[in-house]
Structure 1
C-alpha cells in the first residue's frame, strides 16, 4: 500500500504548527497519511513541486512560496487567481492544482470573533497575506480599506486587487496608524511578521473602537497587539486564521474542494484546535 504524503514548505519552517493541525485531522478521519515539514525557498519551489511522484497528495505553502509556486501550477481556483497567491497545492491525476485558503481562514477567524460584516478597515503590510486580507474584508462587506505601508508607492497592485474584489484601497504611510481621524474603523488586520515593530503607536480612538486581527502568533504578543491589550482593546491572534485555513486545506486534500465540508467536521475542527 502506497503511503500518502503531504508537507508544509517554507524557509524557515521548523516553527510551523501545520503538521500538528493536519495530522490531528487525518487521525480523526481515519486516514494513515503522513505530513511533514520541508525547508524549501522560493528558488527551489518550482523544481520541488514538479518533482513529486504519485505518492504525494498535496502541499501547504508559507511565504514567499505562495507567489513563487503559481507559475508551475496547471490550474488555480478563483481566489488564488484573484490574489495571485496559492498556499495550497493538490496533486490530482497528474495535474497540479492551486488554492488560496487564507481568505477563508481570515473570514472564519473574524466570524468567530463576532465580525460577520464590516464597512471600514485598515490593513497593515503589503505581502500575500495582505492581499488575502483585502479579499476577505471585501467578502465581509468592507467598502474602504486603508492600506498602511512603509512605502505607499508599493501598494499599486493591492489597489487593483481591491478594485477587483469590490473594495476601495487607499495606500498610506504606516504612520497613519496614529492619525486621530473621526471616521470609525471596524477592523484592523496586521500582516506584519511576528515580532515586527510597526514603529508607530495606534491612536487611542482606533484601539478603543476597532478589533485587531494580528496574523502573527509567535512570538506573542506583537508590539501592536501589546498596545491593544494594554488598553483593553479587542484582539485576536493568528492562530484562528491558521486553524481555519488548515481546515480548508484538509477539505482540499481529502475531497478536492475547499467548499465541501468534511465528514464529522465539527469534531475534526475540535481536535485540530487542541493542537494550537
Structure 2
C-alpha cells in the first residue's frame, strides 16, 4: 500500500545540480502542478558534488520529498544511491529523475529514470523526424548517450559520433552496442562530410561549443534541405549552429523543446497523474517558457 502525503501538506520536488541558477525546471514544473491541481512545491537547489550524500540522506528520510530532477554534475553519481533503476537509465548508467516511493511496509524506495531519452525522441518527432537514414551525435557526455538511446527508440541503426578526442568514446561505443546501434566515431575535422550525409544531427554540446562546426557549415554552403538539427543548447536561441542550419534550408528544434518533453514525463512520475493528461501538461509547460503550444 502506497503512502500519500498528509492531507493539506504539499509534496516537495526540486532540480539539483551545480550550478543551477539558470534552470528553467521550476517554471516548467510549477506550471504543470498548477494545471494538474497537484499540491506540490518545486525549487532549484544548488548541490555541489561533495554535498550530494548529505542531500540524498535528507531526501530519503524527509516524508515531504517526492521527486528530483537531476542535472550535471550528478547524473552518474546519483546512481549509487538508488534502490531501483528503470530502463533506459540502467543501460546508460545515467539518471536525470529520482522518485521517492514510500509504502506501508518499507520506509522508502528511491527509483531512478532517464526522461532525457523520451525528451529527445519527442523533440525530434516534433521537428518531423521519423527515424529514416543515418544520424549524427555531436559530443561525448551523458546527453550524447541519451541521444543514442533516443535514436535506437526511433529505429536508427547507424550513427556517427563526432567527438574531439576519439580515445574518450569507449563508454559510448559500449552503450551503442548494448542498444544495437552501429556507431562510427569521427573527429570535428570530418564533421562536414558526416553531417551532409545524415538525415538528423543531435548536438549534445554545451552552449557555443558547436560554433566551430557552424562556421565550417557556413563557409561550405552545405545544402541541408529537410535535414533535422536538435541543438540541446537553447540559451541563447537560435544558437550559431541553428542559425546556419536554418539559413541552409535545414529544420531546427531547440533544446528547450527537449527540456519541456522530459520535464513533462517527470511531472507525471512525481504527481502520479494519468498519462492521458500528458498533452495538457506539455502545453502548460510551453506556456510557462514561451514555447509554441503543441
Between Structure 1 and Structure 2, how many residues are aligned? Answer: 271
Show the counterpart of 1:272.
Answer: 285
Q: Contact conserved, 1:194 with 1:220, CA < 8 A, in 2?
A: no
* Cα distance between partner residues in 1 of 2:189 and 2:51: 36
What do the CA deviations read for 1:130-159 (whole angstroms, capped 9, x no partner)? 000001001111111110001011011111
Matched, 1:9 2:25: no
Q: 1:186 aligns with which of 181, 184, 199?
A: 199
Show the counterpart of 1:32.
Answer: 39
> When the two structures are superposed, what TM-score results if normalisation uses the length of structure 2?
0.87
Matches within 5 A, 1:150-229: 150-179=164-193, 184-200=197-213, 201-202=216-217, 204-205=221-222, 207-229=224-246
Does 211-220 or 190-199 show the bigger shift? 190-199
* Cα distance between partner residues in 1 of 2:162 and 2:98: 30
The alpha-carbon deviation at position 209 of structure 1 amounts to 5.0
Q: Contact conserved, 2:163 with 2:185, CA < 8 A, in 1?
A: yes
Matched, 1:47 2:77: no
Q: Taking structure 1 as reference, are residues 126 and 181 closer, same or farther at Cα in structure 2, changes over 3 Å only? A: closer
Matched, 1:231 2:240: no
Show the counterpart of 2:272.
Answer: 255
The alpha-carbon deviation at position 266 of structure 1 amounts to 2.5
- List runs of 5+ in structure 2 lacking aligned partners: 1-7, 103-107, 290-294
- List runs of 5+ in structure 1 lacking aligned partners: none
Secondary structure of the corresponding residue to residue 58 of structure 1? strand
Secondary structure of the corresponding residue to residue 54 of structure 1? coil
* Cα distance between partner residues in 2 of 1:168 and 1:254: 38
* Cα distance between partner residues in 2 of 1:172 and 1:47: 41
The alpha-carbon deviation at position 213 of structure 1 amounts to 0.6
Does 112-121 or 233-242 show the bigger shift? 112-121
Q: Taking structure 1 as reference, are residues 3 and 233 closer, same or farther at Cα in structure 2, changes over 3 Å only? A: same
* Cα distance between partner residues in 2 of 1:204 and 1:30: 50
* Cα distance between partner residues in 1 of 2:99 and 2:280: 24
Secondary structure of the corresponding residue to residue 199 of structure 1? helix
Show the counterpart of 1:65.
Answer: 74
The alpha-carbon deviation at position 198 of structure 1 amounts to 4.6
What do the CA deviations read for 1:41-71 (whole angstroms, capped 9, x no partner)? 2332232112221110010011221111111
Secondary structure of the corresponding residue to residue 43 of structure 1? helix
Q: Contact conserved, 1:10 with 1:41, CA < 8 A, in 2?
A: yes
Matched, 1:76 2:85: yes
Show the counterpart of 2:26.
Answer: 19
